[in-house]
Structure 1
Amino acid sequence: MRATYEALCEHGYTALTAQDIADGTDKSKSLLFYHYDSKEDLLADFLEYLSEQFDERVAETRALPPVERLAAFVDWFLYGPGEDDRQSFHVAMLELRTQAPYNDRFREKLRKSDDQLRETLEEILRDGLEAGEFREHDPEETAALLIAAFDGARIRQLTSGRDAYLRQVRAATATWVFDDLLAEGASFPADRDPSTLPGVDQQHRLAGDLGDDDRPDGETDADESDRG
């Protein structure tokens, strides 16, 4: 999965080959196709893997106050300049999204990912209501609006290369949405450094997990496979 991520970021979907993925491991292309019938099968499994990893990252932030969890969610989309690994992850996902209109399997996996995002944000908003940190609102409608805004901002940034756009959307969201959403006494950290997630070590970021080889020194892919 790590090799798939790195190859997808480097080559893009159209130019990606099984050999590109195999080159990132100690395995041959023939061994990859022993487990997968096609490149499409491998990438469908990759999308499923991303969903599982996202669930784990959400679980790690669940003990934080709702406002901090909301900030972490915003950071996932509206990351700061220089966040190359996080941007690479979103580029890879954008590559796969462009195939969804023509690929039922990808569309199904991406629909699941979209459901995860929406349900995660709705959970944060509901918890904030129960904790008295947020004013009364409709969590489903608010989540739909925010995800559309963040996703749109990220896609525009990726396709235009304008990093300032993410900062502008973040600032505008804090001013025009969160000011009305937060209860009296609660505040959204609009000026904080979005390159880190609150309470979570940077090495635990999803993009970092996939892009960085943080296994013990000397361990290979084969060693990792032996450990199961």
Structure 2
Amino acid sequence: MNADDSVPGPTDDIMCATYRALCRHGYANLTMQDIADEWSKSKPALHYHYDTKRGLLLAFLEHLFTAYTDRVAAPDEGSPRARLDALIDAALDPPRADAHRELRTALFEVKAQAPHDEAFRERLERFDDYLAAEIRRIVAEGIEAGAFRADADPEMAAVLLVTLVNGAHSRRVALGAADGVRDAINAAVDDHLEGGVR
């Protein structure tokens, strides 16, 4: 959890327990007792830190966002296209993707709460906003360097690519595959960003 060698605090342990409980039970069936069981402490001890399941899951999304920004960041070196490809690859395929299948499914259920819960929506939007900002930055730098078309629109590129990444995640959970998405992204970048660049 932590990059350093410090001893994890109770919050780190609770986040690990929440991860395991979500993977085991999914969102809909998850209870505070399930998380306490994974934490190997009592439910009252868990309530000392978090009053409700909702509050704990909002904190868990914050925890995931920190890990996401550590993992999904545009590289500082390489051509703009190579940097953009690396960013999209990181957003599409987290490490140990198979091990995260249950978590992906649980988070898909969490996303379904967003239309009805502003706090969930705001936290989930942060993931998209972060990825979009990284894409806009690379595209703008690529335009300036002459690697992407001068008339390319960084904002439109970000909207398109974030939408494709989100669609790939949804298809992976709902259908078990996201075949062709990487090819579609490559084609979009070829057409909208690199088309006509010599």
Q: TM (normalized to structure 2)? A: 0.78
Which 10-residue stretch deviates more, 136-145 or 92-101?
A: 92-101
* Structure 1 SS opposite 2:134: helix
- Contact 1:79–1:86 (8 Å) recurs in 2: no
The residue that corresponds to 1:177 in the other structure is 188
The answer on whether the counterparts of 1:78 and 1:167 sit within 8 Å (CA) in structure 2 is no
Q: Report SS of the residue matched to 1:167.
A: coil
1:135-176 deviations in Å (ceiling 9; x for gaps): 221010111012112212321231122x2xx231211321x3
Which residue of 125, 133, 139 corresponds with 2:154? 139
Which of 9, 30, 38 is equivalent to 1:16? 30
Counterpart contact for 1:22–1:28, Cα < 8 Å: yes
Question: Residues 58 and 120 of structure 2 are in contact (CA less than 8 Å); yes or no, is this contact kept in structure 1?
Answer: yes
Which of the numbers 101, 117, 128 marks the counterpart of 1:103?
Answer: 117
Return the letter of the residue paired with 1:167: D
The whole-number CA distance in structure 2 between the counterparts of 1:27 and 1:72 is 41
Residues 157-214 of structure 1 show CA distances to partners (whole Å, capped at 9, x for unaligned) of: 31122x2xx231211321x3122323757xxxxxxxxxxxxxxxxxxxxxxxxxxxxx
CA distance in 1, matches of 2:163, 2:65: 19
| Unpaired stretches in structure 2, ≥5 consecutive residues | 1-14
Q: CA deviation at 1:77?
A: 4.6
Normalised by the size of structure 1, how large is the TM-score? 0.69
User: Which structure is higher in RCO with an 8 Å CA cutoff and minimum separation 6?
Assistant: 1
Identity among equivalent pairs (%) = 43
1:86 CA displacement:
4.6
Looking at structure 1, the residues matched to 42 and 194 of structure 2 have their Cα atoms a distance apart, in angstroms, of 54
| Distance in 1 (alpha carbons) for counterparts of 2:158 and 2:164 | 10
Matched, 1:167 2:179: yes
Shift of 1:105: 1.5
AA partner of residue 122 (structure 1): R
Which amino acid is 1:20 matched to? Answer: D
The offset of 1:72, in angstroms, is 2.7
Match of 1:63 among 54, 64, 76: 76
Aligned partners of 2:100, 2:161: CA distance in 1, in Å?
19
2:45 paired with 1:34: no
Amino acid in the other structure paired with 2:84: L
Task: Return 5+ residue gaps in structure 1 as ranges.
Answer: 186-228
**How far apart, in 1, do the equivalents of 2:46 and 2:158 lie?**
39
The secondary structure found in structure 2 opposite 1:24 is helix
Answering whether residue 16 of structure 2 is matched by residue 2 of structure 1, we say: yes
Report if the CA contact (8 A) 1:5-1:92 is conserved: no
